[in-house]
């Protein structure tokens, strides 16, 4: 039986909702499961949770409370009683035992019926043999049922024996003609050829045996270490716990964990155990394996979308870094290329900022508006704020991110650094921007440390600060400029 079929059978046997661990124990005790696997309890929980999640009203199993499952056919009183229980208490009915006397009497009573059935059963006629295609061209032979390559060794020995018999006949004919010396020379040459042939055959057999042993050894080691080709088992319905690392932070933690050990490839469960030991994840490593697998696959898909080399190589349940398959010279050249590319990007951004600083006010405002539209800001409009200084642009709009819309205030400073005083001033005047709930402060110069400290104050209006380098990088990311 499958896990879900075994769960239905167990629940009908007990007659009340049970915890998935108790269901698994009873199914194993009654030998209902056709396949157990490494973690049957986790597999049972995953299968039942998937059935409940995909239920459209016709599934036989329902979820009573977290971890406890019951049958849809149970009465409401049974379900209500299970709400106040742990789901671990149950009583199994004793298996029925049939008495020997009853079996003998039943057997004696059924014997005549069986004999009568056998007597009345019709005799099956032999089925007509089907004629195979090509049977007329290739007639049947005596050895058709034997493997084609089964007697290669015997055939070779028989051919060698025939060759030796022919050579002996030739030598006997030479003796009759009186050529004794020629016969001895020919026999010696034949002996040397036979010895050489046997040596080559022996060496070939030894090489084949050695190669076969090496392949078996390598395959066995790889299977013991990484279990290549195996599916990832665990809790695929698990939600992240409080304080756990998710997203790109989890991927970087996985990369550091693998880099610190330099091979061999690790399974998802082993990687999860490493992250649990570092405090990045919480819980059982076996249940966390799908979380690690999802993070690795998402990072590889992100790299493929960006046209970059993936960090991880995955096959089945095995994970390794792609750096391990590259020579050290190639890795050093790639690192130098990245550093050179970073320097080139910084130089381009500095040149771009100089060009932006030389633009007139109308050109700068149009460039910033194009960038804001690319970031998802719609409904941009200029705001005339009393007391605003020269070379400041005040805009209001709506930041649209998926189904959410957020009123936004944008202040662009063409000259001067973004200071703490400017952050405080913007927070106190958000009513001029249509009661904005978030403010973006953008400057072509730098952001001082006091401004960042003020922007990080809790229970205050969120303020995002962007200096000239950050503005150039943001425009490069969306393809503006």
Write the pLDDT tens digit of every residue in 384-434. Answer: 888 777 788 999 999 998 888 999 999 999 988 999 999 999 998 898 898
Is residue 393 included in any domain, yes or no?
Answer: yes
Domain-terminating residue out of 42, 67, 83: 83
Encode burial over 317-327: b for 16+ CB neighbours within 10 A, e otherwise. Answer: bbbbbebeeee
Query: In the predicted model, what is the mean pLDDT of residues 79-91?
Result: 79
Q: What is the mean pLDDT of the chain?
A: 75
Residues 359 and 472 in one domain: yes
Q: 195: how many CB neighbours lie within 10 A of its CB?
A: 10
Angle at 469 between CA 450 and CA 458, to 5 degrees: 35
Number of structural domains the chain divides into: 3
Residue 187 has pLDDT above 70, yes or no: no
Q: Are residues 361 and 320 in the same domain?
A: no
199-205 average pLDDT score: 56
Check residue 465 and give its pLDDT. 94
User: Residue 70, class by beta-carbon neighbours within 10 Å (0-12 exposed, 13-18 middle, 19+ buried)?
Assistant: buried
Is residue 231 in some structural domain? no
Q: How confident is the model at residue 198 (pLDDT cuts 50, 70, 90)?
A: low
Percent of the chain with pLDDT over 70: 67
> Are 443 and 357 contacting, i.e. CB atoms less than 8 angstroms apart?
no
**233 domain-assigned:** no
Strands (E), 287-420: 312-315, 318-321, 377-382, 392-401, 404-413
Does 336 score more than 80 pLDDT?
A: yes
Q: How many residues does this entry show for the chain?
A: 481
| 349/163: higher pLDDT | 349
- What is the distance in angstroms between the CA of the first residue and the CA of the last residue of the chain? 63
Specify burial of residue 294 (Cβ count, 10 A radius: 0-12, 13-18, 19+).
Answer: middle
360/458 same-domain check: yes
Q: Looking at 51, 67, 83, which one is the last position of a domain?
A: 83
Whether 475 contacts 359, CB under 8 Å: no
pLDDT tens digit sequence for 95-109: 655 454 444 445 444
The rounded Cα 61 to chain-centroid distance in angstroms is 29
Q: Are residues 360 and 312 in the same domain?
A: no
Supply the pLDDT for residue 443: 92
Higher-confidence residue of 163 and 344: namely 344
Rounded to whole angstroms, the Cα distance separating 186 from 278 reads: 79
pLDDT at residue 118, rounded to an integer: 45
Residue ending a domain, among 57, 83, 109, is 83
In this structure, the strands spanning 392-401 and 404-413 are: antiparallel
Cα–Cα distance, 168 to 159 (Å, whole number): 14
In terms of DSSP bridges, do strands 18-19 and 68-71 run parallel, antiparallel, or are they unpaired?
A: antiparallel
| Pair 11, 73 in one domain | yes
Do 364 and 451 belong together in one domain? yes
Is residue 222, in this structure, part of any structural domain at all?
no
Q: Is the pTM of this model over 0.85?
A: no
| Statement to judge: residues 368 and 472 lie in one domain | yes
Within a domain: residue 276?
yes
Confidence of residue 222 (pLDDT cuts 50, 70, 90): very low
Q: Provide the token pair at 234.
A: 């665990």
The verdict on 366 and 474 lying in the same domain is yes
Q: How confident is the model at residue 213, as a pLDDT?
A: 46
What distance lies between CA 407 and its chain's CA centroid?
Answer: 40
pLDDT: which is higher, 125 or 406:
406
- Flag whether 451 is in a domain: yes
Binning pLDDT at 50, 70 and 90, where does residue 157 land? very low
Residue 407's pLDDT is what?
Answer: 93
Confidence (pLDDT) at 459: 86
Q: Is the pLDDT of residue 45 over 90?
A: no
> How far is residue 346's CA from residue 382's CA, in Å, rounded to a whole number?
32
The pLDDT value recorded for residue 228 is 44
What is the rounded average pLDDT of the residues 271-283?
A: 82
The confidence score (pLDDT) of residue 237 equals 62
- Residues 8-25 have a mean pLDDT of 88
Residue 257 has pLDDT above 90, yes or no: no
Strands (E), 117-196: none
Which of 346, 391, 350 lies closest to 368 in space, CA to CA?
391
Q: How confident is the model at residue 129 (pLDDT cuts 50, 70, 90)?
A: low
Confidence band (pLDDT; 50, 70, 90) for 41? confident
The answer to the question of residue 196 being in a domain is: no
In this predicted structure, what is the pLDDT of residue 131? 53
Over residues 450-461, mean pLDDT = 90
Burial of 284 (0-12, 13-18, 19+ CB in 10 A): middle
Same domain, 369 and 319: no
Give the residue numbers spanning the domain of 453. 355-478
CA-based nearest residue to 284, from 296, 294, 275: 275
CATH number of the domain that residue 442 is part of: 3.40.1350.10
Site of tokens 């010895």: 195
Does residue 118 fall inside a structural domain? no
Give the whole-angstrom CA distance, residue 24 versus residue 330.
51
Burial of 290 (0-12, 13-18, 19+ CB in 10 A): buried
* 302 and 411 inside one domain: no
The better pLDDT of the pair 7, 177 is held by 7
Find the angle CA(71)-CA(76)-CA(79) to the nearest 5 degrees. Answer: 55
Range in 33-37, 286-290, 383-387, 427-431 with the lowest mean pLDDT: 33-37
Q: Are residue 408 and residue 465 in the same domain, yes or no?
A: yes
Under DSSP, the state recorded for 61 is E
Question: What local confidence, expressed as pLDDT, does residue 217 receive?
Answer: 42
Q: Are 317 and 384 contained in the same domain?
A: no
């Amino acid at each position: 039986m499958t896990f879900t079929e075994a769960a239905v059978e167990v629940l009908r046997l007990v007659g009340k909702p049970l915890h998935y661990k108790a269901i698994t124990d009873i199914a194993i005790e009654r030998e209902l499961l056709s396949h157990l696997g490494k973690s049957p309890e986790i597999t049972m929980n995953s299968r039942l949770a998937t059935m409940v999640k995909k239920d459209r009203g016709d599934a036989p199993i329902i979820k009573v409370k977290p971890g406890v499952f019951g049958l849809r056919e149970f009465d409401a009183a049974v379900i209500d009683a299970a709400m106040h229980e742990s789901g671990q208490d149950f009583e199994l009915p004793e298996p029925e035992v049939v008495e020997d006397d009853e079996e003998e009497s039943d057997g004696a009573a059924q014997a005549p019926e069986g004999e009568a059935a056998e007597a009345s059963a019709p005799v099956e006629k032999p089925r007509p043999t089907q004629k195979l295609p090509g049977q007329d061209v290739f007639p049947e032979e005596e050895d058709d049922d034997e493997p084609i390559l089964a007697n290669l060794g015997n055939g070779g020995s028989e051919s060698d024996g025939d060759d030796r018999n022919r050579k002996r006949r030739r030598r006997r004919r030479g003796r009759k003609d009186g050529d004794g010396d020629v016969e001895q020379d020919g026999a010696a040459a034949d002996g040397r050829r036979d010895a050489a042939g046997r040596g080559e055959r022996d060496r070939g057999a030894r090489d084949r045996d050695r190669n076969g042993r090496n392949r078996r050894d390598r395959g066995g080691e790889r299977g013991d270490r990484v279990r290549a080709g195996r599916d990832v088992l665990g809790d695929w319905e698990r939600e992240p716990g409080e304080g756990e690392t998710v997203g790109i932070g989890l991927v970087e933690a996985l990369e550091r964990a693998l880099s610190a050990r330099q091979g061999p490839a690790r399974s998802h469960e082993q990687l999860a155990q490493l992250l649990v030991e570092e405090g990045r994840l919480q819980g059982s490593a076996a249940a966390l394996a799908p979380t690690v697998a999802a993070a690795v696959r998402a990072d590889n898909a992100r790299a493929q979308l960006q046209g970059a080399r993936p960090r991880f190589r995955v096959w089945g349940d095995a994970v390794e870094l792609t750096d391990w398959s590259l020579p050290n010279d190639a890795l050093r050249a790639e690192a130098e290329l990245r550093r050179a590319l970073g320097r080139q990007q910084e130089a381009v951004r500095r040149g771009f900022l100089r060009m932006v600083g030389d633009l007139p006010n109308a050109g700068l405002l149009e460039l910033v508006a194009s960038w804001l539209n690319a970031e998802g800001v719609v409904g941009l409009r200029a705001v005339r704020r009393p007391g605003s200084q020269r070379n400041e642009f005040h805009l209001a709009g709506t930041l649209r991110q998926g189904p959410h819309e957020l009123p936004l205030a944008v202040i662009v400073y063409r000259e001067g650094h973004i200071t703490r005083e400017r952050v405080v001033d913007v927070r106190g005047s958000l009513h001029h921007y249509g009661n904005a709930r978030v403010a973006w402060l953008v400057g072509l110069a730098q952001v001082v440390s006091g401004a960042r400290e003020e922007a990080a104050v809790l229970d205050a209006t969120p303020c995002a600060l962007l200096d000239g380098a950050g503005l150039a990088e943001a425009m490069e990311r969306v393809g503006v400029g």
